[in-house]
Amino acid sequence: MDVSFLGGPQPQRGVGIVAPFDFALDRELWRWVPDDVSLHLTRTPFVPVEVSLDQARLVSEHQTLREGVQALCAVAPEVVAYACTSGSFVGGAAGELSMTAAMEEAGEIPSLTTSGALLAALREIGAMRVAVVTPYTKSVTDSLEDFLGEAGIAVTGRSYLGLTGEIWRVPYRDVVDMARDAVAGDAPDALFISCTNLPTYDVIPQLEAELRMPVLSANQVTVWDALRRIGKEAVGPYQALLDPVARRGPAAMAASPTLPVSRPEEPAEPVVEFVEPAAEPTVLPVEPEAALAGAGTESGEPLEGYDQGFASGYTDEWGGGNQPPV
């Protein structure tokens, strides 16, 4: 059968990704990518260290990054991203800049890191005060706050799990619970969910609708920044970073306890009910909890079949329980 009429495959733009050895969310990255872009992933060498500041330093050594970039050069990506939040903030602002420089020198390709992409995303939406959610221990979470502080970003509140491994197994319900805790203090401009190994794609639109603020995540900002470097746009269901319309929707609306009362001589302004636009089948746009209904028990109850690895109620290095606003 002659299939020559089909032509060749659709031309693809290439984005290289250097990920830590334990990265498990390749599929999540792909969900933000348009059809004419391919992701080319490589991983750092395995090191027998649990998630910690030590691991973050080991997986972000300059020689490790150079080798990852050089391996990707074989498929000629147009941009390379280092997809690790802790690995790119552990050395502070100067460390992040030196990592990017080492990657660009190794492959002569425009390069970026997740933490650098986070700062670019915060500038994009005009956020100077953020609440932070992490799966990390206290010391790693502190390091993230220090990095943001160097950039002039104030952390208004935070919540962390204290995990040292298998972060990709955390369910969406835990992410939502932490988000609610983190924003409970002073009103932030946005919420940031850290760690490229923490699932966030489906929960972002629901959190933006409930919390009425932009919600950024590590994987989201990484893909967004990499794509914009090559003149492409990330795709995703109604997310403030990706869609200017979403910034004028729930993410931009301040909650109001009462409606203003019109003077008798003036007609009352019509109340426009916000209707969520249609999203992917996996995202229910009406009630944020609806998307989480199948996740298990209600907030605060033990997770069925999920071992958190720490005692509930702790508020020290290992997390667990609500963290006080910073």
Average pLDDT across the chain, whole number: 84
CA distance 305 to 195: 22
How far is CA 145 from its chain centroid? 15
C-alpha 215/C-alpha 62 separation (Å) is: 31
- The structure's pTM equals 0.78
Of the ranges 194-198, 284-288, 291-295, 301-305, the best mean pLDDT one:
194-198
What pLDDT does residue 11 have? 87
- Tell me what the mean pLDDT of segment 23-41 comes to: 98
* pLDDT tens track for 50-99: 999 999 999 999 999 999 999 999 999 999 999 999 999 999 999 999 99
**Residue 305: per-residue pLDDT:** 39
Helix (H) or strand (E) holding 37: strand 37-43
pLDDT for residue 256 is more than 70: no
Q: Which residue has the higher pLDDT, 150 or 297?
A: 150
pLDDT at residue number 317: 58
Report the pLDDT value the prediction gives residue 291, as an integer from 0 to 100: 41
Q: What is the pLDDT of residues 293-322, one digit of tens each?
A: 444 333 333 333 344 444 433 445 556 544
Give the rounded percent of residues in the chain with a pLDDT score beyond 90: 70
pLDDT at 313: 39
Based on its alpha-carbon atoms, the radius of gyration of the chain, rounded to whole angstroms, reads: 21
Task: Report d(CA 178, CA 160) in Å as an integer.
Answer: 7
Q: Which residues of 14-28 are buried (b: 16+ CB within 10 A; e: fewer)?
A: bbbbbbbebbebeeb
pLDDT given for residue 303 in this prediction: 37
- Residues 38-53, mean pLDDT to the nearest whole number: 97
The answer for residues whose C-beta is within 8 angstroms of residue 261's C-beta and 6 or more apart is none
Q: Judge whether residue 223 has pLDDT over 80.
A: yes
Q: What is the pLDDT of residue 10?
A: 80
Q: What architecture is domain 13-249?
A: 3-Layer(aba) Sandwich (3.40)
- What sections of the chain are H helices per DSSP? 26-31, 53-58, 62-72, 85-89, 92-107, 114-125, 138-150, 172-182, 204-211, 218-229, 244-247
Rounded average pLDDT over 131-158? 98
